[in-house]
Structure 1
Amino acid sequence: MNHQHSPATVSPFRQPRAVWAVAFACVVSFMGIGLVDPILPALSAKLHATPSQVSLLFTSYLLVTAVAMLLTNMVSSRIGPKRTLIAGLVLIVIFAGLAGTSDTIGGIVGFRAGWGLGNALFIATSLAVIVASASGGFGGAIILYETALGIGIAVGPLLGGTLGGISWRGPFYGVSVLMFIALIATITLVPKTPKPAERTSLVAPIAALRHRGLLIMSLTAVFYNWGFFTMLGYAPYPMHLSEHRLGLVFTGWGLLVAVFSVAVAPRLQRRFGTAKTLYANLFLLAVVMAVIGAYTDSATTVIVAVIVCGAFIGINNTLTTQAVMTVAPVPRPVASASYGFVRFIGGGLAPFVAGKLAEHFNIHVPFYAGAAAFLIAIAVLATGHRILTDAEAPAEEATGPAHAVAEIVTVGRTGEANDQAPIVVAVDAGPAAAAVTAAAADLAERLHAPVDLLHVHEIAVVGDEAVDRESYEQARDRVRAHLDALAARGVPAAGHILRSVADHGHAGSVIARHAEAVGARLIAIGRPSHGGIAHMLDGSAGERLIAEAGCRVLVVPPDAEGAQDHEGRQRIGANG
C-alpha cells in the first residue's frame, strides 16, 4: 500500500491560516473537558449548592451533547461543515458568557446545556474542516489535530485553576472570549466547504444500533463513561485543594490523557490487539477507582490516583472509538453519531448519581460504583469479543463473516481476465500511487497476469473522534483513474474499495487477507515516505502487510526505481 500522506519535505505545521484558526478553536474546545474541575468545590461553597447540584454542570452539558449527536451530522450534511462550525462557535460564545453572568447554580446548569449543543456542532465538524483545508496532507492534518487535542486537554485545567483563583466566573468568561476570537478567525479565514454528497437522516444513528457490534461497543462506552465522569466530576471534593492546585492536578491528568491517547494506545493495540488491551485497561481503571474509594480520606492518594487515571483514559478513548469504527457496518458519520449519543448518556448521569450516593451513604460509595461500572464494561465488551477479534485477526484466524472485517466494493473491471494468479496492487491517495500502478502493469505484461487493484478507504481516529481519510466518491474516482491507466496498456484489471478500516496499520492486514482470498501471486505497494513524528504516531501498513502476506510483496518507491522484493511468511506454490 502507498502510505504517502504528503511529500517528505512538507512539515505538518506549515499550514494555511484557515487551518490554524480552526486548530486554535479546537484547543479552546478541548480545554472545556477539564476547565470546570478546579472550580467545582468553589461553586459548591459560594453558591450554597450541594455537590450533586454542582455536578449537574456535567449532566446538562453531556446529556444535551448526547441528543445533539443525533442532529449534528444531519445539520452538517444540509448546511455544510463551515456553517455548522460557525453555529457551534456562536452558541459556545453566547452560553459560556451567560454562565459567567449567572448568580445561581440552576442558571449555570441551564447555560451549560446550550454550551453542550454548541460544542457538539463544533466537534462534529472541526476535524473534517482541518483535514479538508490542510496543505500538509492528511497525515499533517491529523498530527495538527492531535497537537490541539494534547494542548487543550493539558492546558484547560491549568487555565481553569488560574482564572478560577481570581473568580469562579473567570473560566466561563475566558472560554467565551477565546472562542469569540476563534469565531472571527473562522469566519474570515476558513473558505466555504462543500456539502456532503449524501444527506444524513435523523433516524439513521438510532437505526444503526440494530447492528450488534456497534450496539455492544456503545454500551461498553456507557459504563466506561460512567466510571470516567464519576472520577472527573466528584474526585475534586476529597482533595481539599485550592483552585490553583486543583488546576495543576488535572493538568497532570490531562497530559497523560493526551500522550497515552496519541502515542501509546496505537502501540498497545498493535502489540496486544484491541480487545485484550481494552480488557486490561478497564480492569486497571476499576482498580484505580477502588483505590480512590478506599482512601478518600488521603488527599495524596486521591491526587496520585486521578493523575494515573489519565493514562488509562487516554488509551481507552482512542481504542474504543477505533473499535467502533472497525466493527460498525455503517458510514462513519452515522456510526460516530450513534456511538456518541449512547456513550454521553452514561457520562451525563454519572456525576449527579455520584453526588446523590455520597449524600445518602458516604463519600466512598460513588467511587466504588465507578469501579463497578468499569467491571460491567468488561462484561459487556466480552459479549462482542468474537466480533472485535475477527475484525483484527489474520485471515486464517478469523471465524466470523467477512463483512465483519471490511466491506469490499467492486468499482469496475477492464479487459478479459485469464486463469493466471492476479497481481494485487494496493494504493491510496498519495503521489506515489501512479508509480505503484505502473510498476504492477509492467509485471502484469511480462507475466500475462491480471491486476486486482485495491484501494483501502481508511478512517483516522484521534482521541474519541474519527474522520474519513477521503470521501467515498473520491476513493471511487481514484480507483477508476487507475483502471483507465491499466486499460490503456491492455492489462485486464478489477478495481475494489475496502471500506470500514479504522487503523492505518490495520490496513496492511486487510490487504493481506484480500490477497489470500484471490490467490495473489504478488502484492505491489508504495514505500512509506513519512518519518519522524508522523511515523511514530502512525501504524505502518507496509510492515503489517509484509509480516502477514502469504506471497511476495513488491515495495515501489515514488520514483519507481530500486523497488524491493519481500518474501511473505510462506510461499504459495507456483504463485510464490
Structure 2
Amino acid sequence: MQPATSSVHAHAATGEKLWKQPMAVWAVSFACVIAFMGLGLVDPILPEIGKQLHASKPQVELLFTSYNAVMAVAMLITGVISSRIGSKLTLLCGLVLIVLFSFLAGHSSSISQIVGFRAGWGLGNALFIATALAAIVSVARGGTAGSVILYEAALGLGISVGPLLGGVLGGISWRGPFYGVACLMTIAFFGVLVLLRGVPKPANRVSVADPIRALRYPGLLTMGIMALLYNFGFFTLLAWTPYILPKLTTHGLGYTFFGWGVFLAITSVFVAPRLQARFGTLRTTYVVLSLFALDLLVIGIFGSHEWVTIVCVIICGGFLGINNTLVTTAVMQAAPVERPTASAAYSFVRFIGSAIAPWLAGKMAIWVSPYFPYYIGTAGVLLGVLVLYSGRKHLQSV
C-alpha cells in the first residue's frame, strides 16, 4: 500500500487533474456538502431554540448528543447494509432519512421532539457519510489521496456554509435551517439517483463484528481513541461557544462560524497536503493538535472578551481543517482491512466523544463556570496527542 505522504505529494504535482471528475463524483460531493451542513447548521440557532421552546442549555446541547450517539452506534451497521444493497442504495436511504428527520425537526413543538428527530437525522448521516468516501473513491479520478481531498473539500464547504445558512434562515425562524436542509437534501437525492452509476457492490459481505474486529489493529485503535479525545475539544468549541457569545445575534453567530468553516475548508484542501508531504502525518498532527489545545485554553482564560473568542474560533478552523485531512488519510492506511470497515471502526469510536462532549459542556458550565468546558476540551486534546505519540510505532505506514 502506498504511503499517504508520497500519495499526497504525487497528487499535489497533478492537482489540476483533481477537479476533472465525472458528474457522479460531483453529485455525491454536493450531497456531502449538504450532509456536513448538519454539523454546524444548528450552532447559530441554539440560543433561540432554547428561548422559544423554554429549554435549558444542557437540554439544547442534547441536539448534538443524540445526533452523534446514534451515528456512533450506526457506524457498526453501515457496512452490513452497504455490502448487501450496494453503495448507491445505501446513500439514497441515508438521504431519505436526512430529508425526513430534518423536516420533522423543523416541524417540532418541543425540545424533546427535536432531540429525537436529530437522532434519526444522525442515522441517515451515518449511512450516507460512511458510504460516501468509498463511493467517491470508486468513481473518481486521482486515486485514494485525490478522493480524500475531494471528500475533505466537500466537508469543509459543508461545515462553512452550514452556520451561514443557519444564521440567515435562523434569522427568520429557528425552524428555517431545518426546512432548508430538507429542501437541499431532496435535490441531492435526485442528483445521486440520476448521476451515480457504475459503483460495484462490495465483493464480500460485512458483519456487525467486522468494525469491532478491526479495532484489534493497534494503529486503527490508536487513531480512534485519539479522535475520541480530540472531539472533546472540537465539540466543546462547536456546541458550547454560541452560549459565551450572548451579544451576537443569530446572524452574527452564523458569520463567526462561517469564518471558522471557510478557514477549515482552505486548510484542509490546500495546506494539509503540503504540510503532510514536507513534515509527515504524525509530526504535523502533534503540532496542530497542540496548537488547537492552546487555542481552547485561550478561550477558557480570556473568553469573557468577545473579540478574543471570535478570533480564536476562526483560527481553530485552520487547525481542524489540517487535522481532519491528515487523520482521514491516515485511517485509510492504519489497518489491513477494507476502507469502509476501517472508516466505520474509527468513526464508531470517535463519535462517542462527539456525543459526550456537548452534554458534558452544558453540565460543567452550570456546575463550575461557562468557560470551564474549554479546560476539559484542552485536556482532552492534549491526552489525544499523548495517545497518538504512544502508538506511533503502529502508525509508521501513515
Tell me if both proteins adopt one fold, taking TM over 0.5 as the criterion.
Answer: yes
Aligned to 2:157: 151
Q: How does 1:122-141 map to 2 (within 5 A)?
A: 122-134=128-140, 138=143
1:234 pairs with 2:240:
yes
Q: Separation in 2 of the partners of 1:143 and 1:108?
A: 33
Is 2:90 aligned against 1:98? no
When residues 302 and 9 of structure 1 are mapped into structure 2, their CA distance, relative to the original with a 3 A threshold, is: closer
Displaced runs of 4+ in structure 1, greater than 3 A?
A: 1-5, 8-20, 130-134, 136-147
Structure 2 length as normaliser, TM-score? Answer: 0.91
Alpha-carbon separation, structure 2, partners of 1:228 and 1:146: 16
Indicate conservation of the 8 Å contact 2:244/2:304, yes or no. yes
Partner residue, 1:180 = 186
Residue of structure 1 equivalent to 2:41: 35
Between 343-352 and 16-25, the greater mean CA deviation after superposition? 16-25
Is 2:276 the partner of 1:266? no
More strand by share: 1
The question of whether the paired residues in 1 share the 8 Å contact of 2:264 and 2:322 is answered with yes
CA distance in 1, matches of 2:24, 2:316: 35
More off after superposition, 203-212 vs 62-71? 203-212
Aligned residues: 388
What residue number does 1:80 align with?
Answer: 86
Provide the secondary structure at the position in 1 that maps to 2:171.
helix
Identity %: 57
Matches within 5 A, 1:296-335: 296-335=303-342
More helix by share: 2
For 1:127 and 1:305, the matched residues in 2 are separated by 30
Q: Within the alignment, does 1:220 sit opposite 2:252 as a pair?
A: no
Q: Whose RCO is larger (CA < 8 A, sep 6+)?
A: 2
TM-score using structure 1 length: 0.64
SS at match of 1:166: coil
CA contact (8 A) 1:82 1:192 kept: no
How far did 1:132 drift? 3.4
The AA in structure 1 aligned to 2:299 is: I
Question: Is 1:205 the equivalent of 2:205?
Answer: no
Q: 2:295 matched to 1:295? A: no
Residue pair 1:226, 1:347 contacting (<8 A) in 2 also: yes
Do the aligned residues in 1 keep the contact of 2:152 with 2:325 (CA within 8 Å)?
no
CA separation in 1, counterparts of 2:203 and 2:142? 22
Whether contact under 8 Å (1:44, 1:54) holds in the other structure is yes
Alignment-derived partner of residue 382 in structure 1? 389
Partner of 2:352: 345
Counterpart contact for 1:296–1:363, Cα < 8 Å: no
RMSD of Structure 2 on Structure 1 (CA):
2.3
Partner of 1:49 in structure 2? Answer: 55
Alpha-carbon distance in 1 for matches of 2:287, 2:85: 43
1:148 deviates by 2.8
Query: 2: distance between equivalents of 1:278 and 1:148?
Result: 21
Kindly provide the amino acid, as one letter, of the partner of residue 283 in structure 1. Answer: S
**SS of 1:351 mapped into structure 2:** helix
Deviations 1:8-51 (A, max 9, x none): 89965454443333222122112122111111111111111111
Contact 1:220 / 1:377 at 8 angstroms: preserved in 2? Answer: yes
1:129 Cα deviation after fit: 2.6
* Aligned residues of 2:152 and 2:268 also touching (Cα < 8 A): no
Contact 2:32 2:154 in 1 (8 A): yes
Paired amino acid for 1:215 = L
How far does the alpha carbon of each residue in 1:296-316 deviate from its partner, in whole angstroms, 9 at most, with x for none? 211111111111111111121
In structure 2, relative to structure 1, the CA distance for the partners of 1:232 and 1:335 (3 Å cut) is: same
Say whether the 8 Å CA contact 1:328–1:335 is kept in structure 2: yes
**The residue matched to 2:260 in structure 1 has which SS?**
helix
Q: Distance in 1 between matches of 2:212 and 2:53?
A: 39
Residues 149 and 325 in structure 2, CA contact (< 8 A), matched pair in contact too? no
Contact 1:82 1:190 in 2 (8 A): yes
CA gap 1:291/1:9 in 2 versus in 1, 3 angstroms: closer
For the 8 Å contact 1:239–1:300, the answer to whether it is kept is no
Q: In the alignment, is residue 165 of structure 1 matched against residue 171 of structure 2?
A: yes
Provide closer, same or farther for how the CA distance between residues 144 and 211 of structure 1 changes in structure 2, counting only shifts above 3 A.
closer
Q: Which secondary structure state, in structure 1, belongs to the residue aligned with residue 284 of structure 2?
A: helix
CA distance in 2: counterparts of 1:311 and 1:326, whole angstroms:
24
1:250 aligned partner, one-letter code: F
1:335–1:181: structure 2 CA closer, same or farther, 3 Å change rule?
Answer: same
Asked if the contact 1:85–1:121 (Cα under 8 Å) also holds between the matched residues in 2, the reply is yes
Aligned to 1:570: none
Q: 1:148 to 1:211 in 2, by over 3 A?
A: closer
Q: Which stretches in structure 1 are left out of the alignment for 5+ residues?
A: 392-404, 406-501, 503-576
Q: 1:116 aligns with which of 116, 122, 125?
A: 122
Structure 2: stretches of 5+ with no match in the other structure? none
Q: CA deviation at 1:53?
A: 0.8
**Could you tell me which amino acid in structure 2 is paired with residue 371 of structure 1?**
T
What residue number does 1:363 align with? 370
Separation in 2, partners of 1:258, 1:187: 27
Contact 1:99 1:107 in 2 (8 A): yes
Equivalences for 1:464-479 in 2 at 5 Å?
none
| Greater Rg by CA | 1
Counterpart CA distance in 1 for 2:124 and 2:93 is 7
Deviation at 1:320, TM superposition (A): 2.3
Alpha-carbon contact 1:209-1:215 (below 8 Å) kept? yes
